[in-house]
Amino acid sequence: MSVLAKSSMQKAIDLENRYGAHNYHPLPVVLSRGEGVYVWDVDGKQYYDFLSAYSAVNQGHCHPKIIGALTEQAQKLTLTSRAFYNDMLGKYEKFATEFFGFDKMLPMNTGAEAVETALKICRRWAYEVKGIAENQAQIVVCNNNFHGRTTTIVSFSNDEVARKNFGPYTQGFIKVEYDNLIALEAAFRSNPTIAGFLVEPIQGEAGVFVPSEGYLKKAKELCDVYNILFIADEVQTGIARTGRLLATCGNCNCSDKNCSGTPEVKPDILILGKALSGGAYPVSAVFANNSIMDVITPGSHGSTFGGNPIAAAVAIAALEVVRDEKLAENADQLGALFRSELNTYIESSKVVRLVRGKGLLNAIVINDTEESQKAWNICLRLRDHGLLAKPTHGNIIRFAPPLVMNEEQLRDCVSIIIKTLKEFE
């Protein structure tokens, strides 16, 4: 091979650049294998994955139990569509509704589809149960939300990059400030046509913003007072990521020792995706009780792949791993350790302003402007030192490793992160 020959890394990047739409700006690293908390690039270099595919790979890469369920089911039956019954979907629905404590679920594939499904359920409920006049229903959302990429969802985003030139936009959404109960109540009080409040328990994409203690609980109480559905988008925060099975910690059967079975907040509609499959397959779902879910009737909603037998087998295995390996407790303990170790460093740091988060969903804020390249450059150096993470918004770096990490690995990661940050002091 000539010394001028392109590396296999560069070849892979060139192919994506030439033949793929440029809808992402990936960190320059080309991965070809993953196992547990590790991924390897095409040259065999090993990295800690500190993004976990935006919290889809909570159970670790290629978990043998999940991959086992996937391959076993793939050899028996992959897709029937919902024109016919299959022998896996009902089992999955029973398992998952009991796991999360709801009467019913509606299976979809991606997070954005599940959010769309929840919005449709909420609107139907507005007209058929709450009694709002036709086409008048409003849904309250938060500033700086991230709920996916469909035309309706970007209609109520305030991220100009995500929205610009995708209009005309879908009507029927009211934006309020996140973590502001006064603004929320003012919106509820002034508008009798509000049917739902869609919220992320922690705003992940916005930069891991954890709301004030009691915000979710009081927001739910306000929803109850005004007969408004509390819709929790836990696509990123759910499935043990924040140290509990759910960040809203509904009335679930999780193994979380802090969970008394009494919900802190029980959403009226719960949206899950990402780690529902452990990253092995696109699986999402919407959960609700009968009084809400029964507005969905044959023909009113659907998806060819939603609830397919592979998805069902994979999701059951993925949830069993979360329960059996006590991933919520592990995320809780390692998250506390992570923040305390970083806080010790931050006391004397000029580069990092703060660390925040819950469980193993954390972020550091770099002491620079949003437009600066510093967070990106830090991520490049982290990569060189064997750890993969990515900036969210300009100067914020999210840290979300797989939840199957052990303490020794976490301490190793903390030392890589601090060593790297010190190079920027």
Ligand X SMILES: *Cc1c(COP(=O)(O)O)cnc(C)c1O
Catalytic residues: 146, 233, 274
Q: Measured at the alpha carbon of residue 57, what is the angle toward residues 53 and 63, in degrees to the nearest 5? A: 140
Asked if residue 207 binds ligand X (CB under 6 A), the reply is: no
Beta bridge mates, 365:
354, 396
Asked if residue 236 binds ligand X (CB under 6 A), the reply is: yes
Question: Strand 173-176 and strand 390-391: pairing?
Answer: unpaired
Among all residues, whose Cβ is closest to ligand X?
111
Q: Which is nearer to ligand X, 209 or 346 (CB)?
A: 209
Find the shortest distance in angstroms from Cβ 369 to ligand X: 25
Asked if residue 277 binds ligand X (CB under 6 A), the reply is: no
User: If you write DSSP's letter for every residue of 240-283 in order, what string do you get?
Assistant: TTTSSSSSS--S-----TT--SS-S---SEEEE-GGGGTTSS--
Asked if residue 146 binds ligand X (CB under 6 A), the reply is: yes
CA–CA dist 262, 2 (Å, integer): 66
Written in H, E and C, the secondary structure of 145-161 is CCCCCCHHHHHCCCCHH
Asked if residue 204 binds ligand X (CB under 6 A), the reply is: yes
Asked if residue 60 binds ligand X (CB under 6 A), the reply is: no
Asked if residue 335 binds ligand X (CB under 6 A), the reply is: no
Pair of tokens at residue 211: 């709301």
Of 41, 93, 179, 233, which one interacts with ligand X (CB under 6 A)? 233
Pair of tokens at residue 254: 């999780």
* Segment lying near ligand X (by CB under 6 A), choices 58-66, 79-87, 143-151, 328-336: 143-151
Asked if residue 305 binds ligand X (CB under 6 A), the reply is: no
Q: How many residues bind ligand X (CB under 6 A)?
A: 15
Angle between helices 407-422 and 327-346 (to 10 degrees): 30
Q: How many of the other CB atoms lie within 10 Å of CB of 157?
A: 23
Q: Which is nearer to ligand X, 146 or 287 (CB)?
A: 146
H helices, E strands: number in the chain: 14, 15
* Segment lying near ligand X (by CB under 6 A), choices 74-82, 141-149, 242-250, 314-322: 141-149
Asked if residue 242 binds ligand X (CB under 6 A), the reply is: no
Find the shortest distance in angstroms from Cβ 207 to ligand X: 12
CA–CA dist 332, 380 (Å, integer): 28
Print the binding letters for residues 91-130 with ligand X: x by CB under 6 A, - otherwise: -------------------xxx--x---------------
Chain residues in the site for ligand X (CB under 6 A)? 54, 110-112, 115, 146-148, 200, 204-205, 233, 235-236, 273
